[in-house]
Amino acid sequence: MTKIDFLSSNESDHEARLRLACRVAQKALRSGADVFIACADDTQQAQLSPLLWSFEPESFLPHRALHEDTPAPITLGTAADCGEHHDLLINLCAEVPQYFSRFERLFELVVQVPEVLASTRANWSYYKSRGYPLDFKTI
């Protein structure tokens, strides 16, 4: 069963959520996990990609778009399709991706933006009503 973690930040802007996604991806990468980041749309994916390249001045987080052939440990896509991934999912979509249960671990990222709070609360209720193990941490 998928282990689901909600990570909450006191920051109140959309870019803070993208930076948090970079932090989670970096930590997962260090542990050897393959990461799939489900972006809300192509615009968000285009905003996240340069952050992954420049997240830390002395390093970068190698990634690719889902349908690119170049291998990379981090893949960016949308709620529509995750390819063959099944290790770690970072959900930046408002809705729960249909494929979430094939992943070993899922992260929902919470920032203090009204629409993000509403969607992550709804996602918490969705997972809880289906009996998934949930954890909540403030960082």
Report the predicted TM-score, pTM, of the whole model to 2 decimal places: 0.95
The pLDDT tens digits of the residues spanning 79-136 come to 888 888 789 999 999 999 999 999 999 999 999 999 999 999 999 999 999 999 999 9
Please determine, for residue 28, whether its predicted confidence score (pLDDT) is greater than 90: yes
Around Cβ 4, how many Cβ atoms within 10 Å?
23
What phi and psi values does residue 131 have, to the nearest 5 degrees? 80, 15
Task: Give all domains of the chain, ordered by start, each with its CATH number.
Answer: 3-138 (3.40.50.10110)
Helix then strand then coil, % of the chain, to nearest 5:
35, 25, 40
pLDDT at 132: 98
Please determine, for residue 137, whether its predicted confidence score (pLDDT) is greater than 90: yes
The pLDDT tens digits of the residues spanning 52-81 come to 999 888 878 999 999 898 999 999 998 888
